Structure 1
């Protein structure tokens, strides 16, 4: 069983790139706590005067939407001072990251800017997170995990979005056993429920075929997001996966009654569950309803399933009708034979004979003796003893039906003699 193909949001969310105004070339440490408790705050630095003038000029170009001019100025900065270099690389990396297709190039500059702790605490933290996000965007999932962990280790911040992105990275790396922990942390941290960590957990359990755990997550999804149709249907499917067909039927019936089942496959599963839970009439009527509405194709397979469902429900005439429609599309001997048998059971011998004749035309030596027996009995009950005798003689040529045919032959002869009919 599969859940909805590729159910996981890629969650490649590029962190907002905020280029703070550079007034007086001063960068003050943030007053808000953004680092782990016990962290010793470093000194506040500002670029050197020479570098500061170029940065101010680059910022003015940026403010005038002259992105390339700003980058040219910044590329020209040559300084051996650690803070100058880190600040310049941060600025270049942020500008590149804001341009389409420049993420890979931006990563080099941004990673250099935080190689050593030179920037303010706020800048250092934001760049760690931006590097992680850019790696995720570039599908460098292992690198993304490293940088998200660096961000957590530096800030001690419990950010649910970060944990979702980590869970997603583990999922993309197919390290499904590592998805659950960050996903659970995200679930616990979100003030308003977010479906993404649940979906990541669900997919990780499904990938490992851990159905009981997948069911637990799906049950949480139904409780948390009751208006989302897919969780109801998927939970019903998971119950079926562990062969809890009563729960599966109950869940899918609720989903159906709420209009949540809209796919042909879902209707077919619901019908099969009604059948397996000994409710064949509902199994049949649901198929019939959605076939008439066009959700289910009126093809050979669906028509035969519908006929079989009505047969189980002892709706003989309807079953015969739909076997006939299936046979018209399939030219299948068995479909015509079943149609004929049901019509004969309903004492519609004339139409039964028509169905058996079509089956016999298609049989090509396969089970012809049985078809001759069927034709013999239908003609017999129509009091057409000559035709009944003809088919009983033909049935005697088949070793599988010879004994039955012989016992009928004497009976047919007796009935014909009593009626004054010469065979």
Structure 2
């Protein structure tokens, strides 16, 4: 019994092409959002360093009276007293004369404003404050680099993907050491704009960076790459990515997806192997998954394993208790030459069916088990009920059962009825000829006796 790939993989491709979770996971770096005063001492942008060819800036000094005001505002902000913190900063800017605060001092004021706005989830105002930080001349390069990275992240939080990409590109232009996180962020932006080529290029840089350092790339990174490869119909690459996922993050969904991709490549043995791995690790938990692997075992001519899977599923109430599944189990057992076990399974399937076809098939199994009377009863019941797909075959089997029980007249009637269908005429005629020959032989023996 063969099962189509389409039937076995319903819904899997849509699952494979589902939006990767990584696209929604944009978290603003806390480096730039941290306390201002510690930021003055050491400002970092995702471990980035300024490009060597950039000129060293002469940054204005931070005066003590300004430092004290900033410290007062920061203390209030850290105590969650954002109103007081904002009032202190407002006072520093209110009615000030030109050049009363130098560019570095202003940058730190706006940086703390940004922290306050972000804490209130006012991302638009936080973004404007960070833009004001960048506008100040002669601030430390590290501070500008750090702030530009945060600006890019905030654009992404607001789903302003193109603006975020532009901001992040400016950050890339200023640093010699962009890390994997930055490339992931860029990949996410291009993914949202459906520029899958650039998204794939950037996420692979991040993955390769971790690989080169002997670190395991994050699960979400592989997921984004897997999605992009599938979208671009790059099957081999999608399979290789899924192989990495099952190596480092062995979850059911990846084994199922990998099995599907192998089926797309006509690698039936690998397809079965992936699903069987999920099964032996007790990952399968749905009716369709059990029926899927049972069908794969049947296609691979391993019916006994198919029967074990189905029996387990039915016993644990994972596989639905319906006629179709009992029929599948009966077929697997019969193919495995477990006829005695196939009979009760098919009896159950037939009893749950609305037509007579399964009773006719049950008659076949009874005949295999030399239960001729039961075969006659089941096939007769099926034919009377109607809906038998191959009534000619059923009548052939009925004729054999009658013959075996020496009910020759009824056997002849059954064979003649089967012969009315051209598909069975040859075999029915052969049985009638054989029966005539056997009856003649028996008559001859009786005369001699």
Task: Give 1:292 shift.
Answer: 2.1
What is the 5 A alignment of 1:196-235? 196-223=220-247, 225=248, 228=251, 230-235=253-258
User: In structure 2, what is the Cα distance between the partners aligned to 1:398 and 1:234?
Assistant: 46
What corresponds to 2:76 in structure 1? 61
User: In structure 2, what is the Cα distance between the partners aligned to 1:246 and 1:317?
Assistant: 30
What is the 5 A alignment of 1:4-153? 5-9=18-22, 10-16=24-30, 17-21=33-37, 27=40, 34-46=49-61, 55-75=70-90, 77-78=93-94, 83=103, 85-100=106-121, 102-115=122-135, 117-153=137-173
Which of 203, 207, 210 is the equivalent residue of 1:187? 207
**Contact kept? 2:245, 2:254, Cα under 8 Å:** yes
Task: Give 1:242 shift.
Answer: 0.5
User: In structure 1, what is the Cα distance between the partners aligned to 2:162 and 2:287?
Assistant: 40
What is the 5 A alignment of 1:340-351? 340-351=363-374
**Contact kept? 1:90, 1:113, Cα under 8 Å:** yes
What corresponds to 1:157 in structure 2? 177
**Contact kept? 2:229, 2:238, Cα under 8 Å:** yes
Question: TM-score, with normalisation over the residues of structure 2?
Answer: 0.77
User: In structure 2, what is the Cα distance between the partners aligned to 1:87 and 1:109?
Assistant: 10
User: In structure 1, what is the Cα distance between the partners aligned to 2:113 and 2:249?
Assistant: 47
Task: Give 1:370 shift.
Answer: 4.8
User: In structure 1, what is the Cα distance between the partners aligned to 2:133 and 2:408?
Assistant: 101
User: In structure 2, what is the Cα distance between the partners aligned to 1:43 and 1:28?
Assistant: 16
What corresponds to 1:271 in structure 2? 294
Distance 1:292 1:182, change over 3 A: same
Could you list the runs of 5+ residues in structure 1 that have no partner in the other structure? Answer: none
Q: Which has the higher contact order (CA 8 A, sep 6+)?
A: 2
Aligned residues: 415
Question: TM-score, with normalisation over the residues of structure 1?
Answer: 0.81
**Contact kept? 1:255, 1:261, Cα under 8 Å:** yes
**Contact kept? 2:165, 2:186, Cα under 8 Å:** yes
**Contact kept? 2:74, 2:112, Cα under 8 Å:** no
Task: Give 1:229 shift.
Answer: 5.1
What is the 5 A alignment of 1:248-263? 248-263=271-286
User: In structure 2, what is the Cα distance between the partners aligned to 1:33 and 1:217?
Assistant: 28
RMSD: 3.8
**Contact kept? 1:321, 1:339, Cα under 8 Å:** no
